[in-house]
Amino acid sequence: MKTYYDLQQYLKRFGTFIYMGDRVAELEMMETEIREIHRMQMMDTKDYQMAILLIRQQLALETEKQKKIDKKR
């Protein structure tokens, strides 16, 4: 897993489709789903760590993007 798209595809394997129109909310829901999949031991630790790292990176990008938008206002 290296991209947001990879994460979406991974979750689709478990029948999880997340679209809310709010990227931050989607990422938070994905984190919840990934944690649950890992808790049920359906995901190895390496993939879990990579997925959580990817989500945190995406959340940081979205937060930074929102700060720039707020500054322009």
Interval 6-31: pLDDT, tens: 999 999 999 999 999 999 999 999 99
DSSP secondary structure letters along 4-39: HHHHHHHHHTTT-----S-HHHHHHHHHHHHHHHHH
Q: What is the pLDDT of residues 25-57, one digit of tens each?
A: 999 999 999 999 999 999 999 999 999 999 999
Return the pLDDT at 36: 97
Q: Please, what is the angle between helix 45-72 and helix 23-39, to 10°?
A: 170
Q: Give domain limits for the chain.
A: 4-72
pTM for the model: 0.87
What CATH architecture applies to the domain 4-72?
Orthogonal Bundle (1.10)
Three-point CA angle 33, 51, 44, nearest 5°: 85
In terms of Cβ atoms closer than 10 Å to its own Cβ (0-12, 13-18, 19+), residue 7 is buried
